[in-house]
């Protein structure tokens, strides 16, 4: 008997957009991102001036998850994170978030922000496991459903005495599930 495959994470590229859009429309039918939104994000994800990090999770050549982070100055923002329904509960969401937090550290972000639908309990629990804390709401943020967003923040860990002088990293970069 063969062991189940673990989805591999890799950088999202333009040729992944159609697969990502299929998953996006399945998971977020009311407020799915457009093709242009993904193209725009990927345009800022390569080269020396890159300010974005987008990854896909691939299993048997099929995209089963994706995530993206934008960085500006010392602030990171989780733009999107999604996992195919059949992958729920496997830890893939945690792996994707871990990759985004590694990118936030590489971008030298002091804090990472995100918005989460107030009715998405599964996502909220994931973010809380990684140390994100609620800091406010955005009323009617998700349209057209007029669903509120919970704004959450993760701040930089203070360097411990054993770390290199001046080095910092965003909390939660270890895999918590």
Give the mean pLDDT per block of 10 residues along the chain (177 residues): 75 97 93 94 93 96 97 96 95 96 96 95 95 95 88 74 40 40
DSSP category for residue 46: S
Closest CA to 56 of 106, 22, 32, 89: 22
Q: Give the per-residue pLDDT at 5.
A: 66
Closest CA to 157 of 101, 78, 94: 101
Q: Give the per-residue pLDDT at 138.
A: 93
Q: Give the per-residue pLDDT at 30.
A: 84
Q: Give the per-residue pLDDT at 144.
A: 82
Q: Give the per-residue pLDDT at 160.
A: 43
Query: Given 3-state DSSP classes, what are the helix, strand and coil percentages for the chain, each rounded to the nearest 5?
Result: 30, 35, 35
Q: Give the per-residue pLDDT at 177.
A: 36
Give the other-Cβ count within 10 Å of 154's Cβ: 24
């Amino acid at each position: 008997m063969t062991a189940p495959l673990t989805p591999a994470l890799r950088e999202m590229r333009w040729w992944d957009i159609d697969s990502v859009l299929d998953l996006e429309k399945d998971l977020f039918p009311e407020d799915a991102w457009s093709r242009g939104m993904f193209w725009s994000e990927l345009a800022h994800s390569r080269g020396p001036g890159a300010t974005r990090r987008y990854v896909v999770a691939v299993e048997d050549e099929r995209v089963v998850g994706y995530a993206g982070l934008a960085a500006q100055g010392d602030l990171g923002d989780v733009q999107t994170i999604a996992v195919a329904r059949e992958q729920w509960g496997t830890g893939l969401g945690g792996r994707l978030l871990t990759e985004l937090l590694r990118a936030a550290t590489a971008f030298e972000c002091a804090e990472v922000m995100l918005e989460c639908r107030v009715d998405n309990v599964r996502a909220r629990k994931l973010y809380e496991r990684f140390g994100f804390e609620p800091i406010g709401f955005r009323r009617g943020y998700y349209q057209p459903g007029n669903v509120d967003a919970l704004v959450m923040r993760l701040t930089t860990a203070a360097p411990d005495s054993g770390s290199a002088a001046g080095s910092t990293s965003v909390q939660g970069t270890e895999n918590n599930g």
